[in-house]
Structure 1
Amino acid sequence: MEAITFPNGPITMAGNLYLPKDFDPRGSYAAIVTVHPGGGVKEQTAGLYASKLAEQGFVALAYDASHQGDSGGEPHFLEDPAARVEDVRAAVDHLQTLGFVDPERIGVLGVCAGGGYAVNATMTDHRVKAITTVSAVNIGSGYRKGWYGTDPDSAAVPTLDAAARQRTAEAKGAETAYIPYVPVDPDEDTPRDLVEAHDYYLTPRAQHPNAQNKKIFTRSISKIFAFDAFHLVEDLLTQPILMVAGSEAGSLWHTTELHAKVRSPKRLVIVEGGAHMDFYDVPKYVERAVEEATPFFKENLDR
């Protein structure tokens, strides 16, 4: 693994580039961009998948989103879907500058919100030849409709009202307000997946000093709530797609909705017994996702 930086407009992105064991700088490799979940950093699940894919012979790039982790971009802790999509394109730009990467053999794998961002980037950037989502989340609809997708979109209105009031307060000198990505104190009403997200991000299981479990309330909320990662996917996504999710994930509805919309060559894998967070670091489920993704990418990046 090599720590690298690459440009994304005026922002300097921080990444980790994973290389196959018998890497030959004179070779020509297929490459995969791995996109981390909301609130995550490259050292967590995106890096885990990148390392596993490198073991399978791919060059793989995990990076910190702009405004997050070690990447540049101010204000920090901003979750901007448009920027997150552009991050994927910038990562593809960088891979195409590397002499040992075949520019016609680049794929993307995204986890959780990173899966939604990966879909949105892929449908509008046809340099990407294949995509895999793992525990995919369409972050905009997830915030509007709730974790289980049972609320109407209009349920977002009170939160938008609160964000408007807070932005006014900050314009008048109040301190910047932040909200957590995952529950700080989950209780009996907290969905199982989010209890496990607390365990992943806020305990030694996977906590990292750059994943501080906060985002800017006013600026992030107004950008997230109007975003739809799957808008126009029926017509713009022409590349093959593999979708992996667990049967017990409260987020499964995102994957099944995506599968129903996609018209390009597609494969849906629902892993029995798996929950949303199981695919972040539980060996049984990570290995299953990689076992599905490896032949999928090899087939579709060798065309």
Structure 2
Amino acid sequence: MEAITFPNGPISMAGHLHLPTGFDPQGSYAALVVVHPGGGVKEQTAGLYARRMAEQGFVTLSFDASHQGESGGEPHFLEDPSARVEDVRASVDHLQTLDYVDAERIGVLGICAGGAYGVNATMTDHRIKAVTMVSGLNIGTAYRQGWFGSDPDAAAVPTLEAAARQRTAEAKGAETAYIPYVPWELDDTTPRDMVEAHDYYLTPRAQHPNAQNKKLFARSISRIFAFDAFHLAEDLLTQPILMVAGSEAGSLWHSTGLHARVRGPKKLVVVEGGTHMDFYDVPKYVERAVAEATPFFREHLAAEGDRG
């Protein structure tokens, strides 16, 4: 693994480049951009998948989102979906500058919100030839409709009103307000997936100093609530897609809903017993996702002479 930086317009992106075992700098490799969840950093689940897929023969690039982790961009801790999608495109830019990467054999693997960001980037950047979404979460839809998708979009209005008031207050000199990605405090009403997210991000299980469990309140909320990663997926997502999710995940509806909409090559794998967070680092579930993603990418990122 090599720590690198690469440009994303005026922002310097921090990444980890993973090379396959037996790497030959004179070779020509398929490559994957690995996109971390909202609130995560490259050292967590994205790095785990990047390492595992490099072991399968792919050049992989995991990175910190702009405005987050070790990457540049101010204000820091901002979750801007449009910027997150542009991060994926900038990662493709960088991979295409590497002599040992075949520019026609680049795919994306994303986890949670990173999976949906990867899908959106794939829809609008056809340099990406295939995409895998693991425990996918369409962040805008999830914030508007709730973790289980049971709320109407209009339920978002009070939160947007509060965000507007906070932004006005900050414009007049108030201190910046932050809200967490996952709850600091748990009670009997906390969804199981959020209890497990608390355990992942806020305990030694995967806690990292660059993932501080916060985002700018007024600045992020208005961007997130207006975003729909799957808008126009029926027409724009023509590249093959693999979706892997757990049968017990409260977020499963994001994957099943997208699968129903996609008209192009698609595969949905629902793993019995799996929760949303199981696919972050639980070996049984990570290995299942890797076992599905490996042949998928080998088929759809095959060299020209190897395609059937």
Normalised TM-score (structure 1): 1.00
CA distance in 2, matches of 1:6, 1:258: 32
Aligned-pair CA distance for 1:238: 0.6
What whole-Å deviation, never above 9, does each CA across 1:226-262 have from its counterpart, x for those lacking one?
0000000000011000000000000000000110110
Specify the alignment match of 1:154 in structure 2.
Answer: 154
Specify the alignment match of 1:12 in structure 2.
Answer: 12
Specify the alignment match of 1:286 in structure 2.
Answer: 286
SS of alignment partner, residue 44 of structure 2:
helix
CA distance in 1, matches of 2:30, 2:168: 48
Specify the alignment match of 1:232 in structure 2.
Answer: 232
**Equivalent position amino acid for 1:134 in 2:** V
- Counterpart check, 1:201 vs 2:228: no
CA distance in 2, matches of 1:255, 1:124: 19
SS of alignment partner, residue 182 of structure 2:
coil
Could you tell me which runs of 5 or more consecutive residues in structure 2 were left unpaired when the two chains were aligned: none
What whole-Å deviation, never above 9, does each CA across 1:25-79 have from its counterpart, x for those lacking one?
1100000000000000000000000000000000000000000000000000000
What whole-Å deviation, never above 9, does each CA across 1:87-138 have from its counterpart, x for those lacking one?
0000000000000000000000010000110000000000000000000000
Alignment of 1:149-228 (within 5 A): 149-228=149-228
Alignment of 1:77-156 (within 5 A): 77-156=77-156
Aligned-pair CA distance for 1:21: 1.0
**Equivalent position amino acid for 2:191 in 1:** P
Specify the alignment match of 1:25 in structure 2.
Answer: 25
Specify the alignment match of 1:272 in structure 2.
Answer: 272
- Counterpart check, 1:261 vs 2:236: no
Specify the alignment match of 2:64 in structure 1.
Answer: 64
CA distance in 1, matches of 2:85, 2:262: 19
**Equivalent position amino acid for 2:285 in 1:** Y
CA distance in 2, matches of 1:213, 1:28: 39
What whole-Å deviation, never above 9, does each CA across 1:256-280 have from its counterpart, x for those lacking one?
0110110110000000000000000
CA distance in 1, matches of 2:187, 2:202: 15
**Equivalent position amino acid for 2:94 in 1:** H
**Equivalent position amino acid for 2:286 in 1:** V
SS of alignment partner, residue 176 of structure 1:
coil
**Matched positions, count:** 303
Could you tell me which runs of 5 or more consecutive residues in structure 1 were left unpaired when the two chains were aligned: none
SS of alignment partner, residue 43 of structure 1:
coil
**Equivalent position amino acid for 2:187 in 1:** D
SS of alignment partner, residue 287 of structure 2:
helix
Normalised TM-score (structure 2): 0.98
Specify the alignment match of 1:300 in structure 2.
Answer: 300
Aligned-pair CA distance for 1:186: 1.2
CA distance in 2, matches of 1:146, 1:173: 32
CA distance in 1, matches of 2:138, 2:19: 30
What whole-Å deviation, never above 9, does each CA across 1:143-176 have from its counterpart, x for those lacking one?
0000000000000000000001101110110000
CA distance in 2, matches of 1:159, 1:220: 12
Runs of 4+ off more than 6 Å: none
SS of alignment partner, residue 42 of structure 1:
coil
CA distance in 2, matches of 1:229, 1:236: 12
Identity of matched residues, %: 82
Superposed CA RMSD: 0.4
CA distance in 1, matches of 2:75, 2:242: 34
SS of alignment partner, residue 49 of structure 2:
helix
SS of alignment partner, residue 31 of structure 1:
strand
CA distance in 2, matches of 1:165, 1:101: 48
Specify the alignment match of 2:36 in structure 1.
Answer: 36
Aligned-pair CA distance for 1:12: 0.2
**Equivalent position amino acid for 1:27 in 2:** G
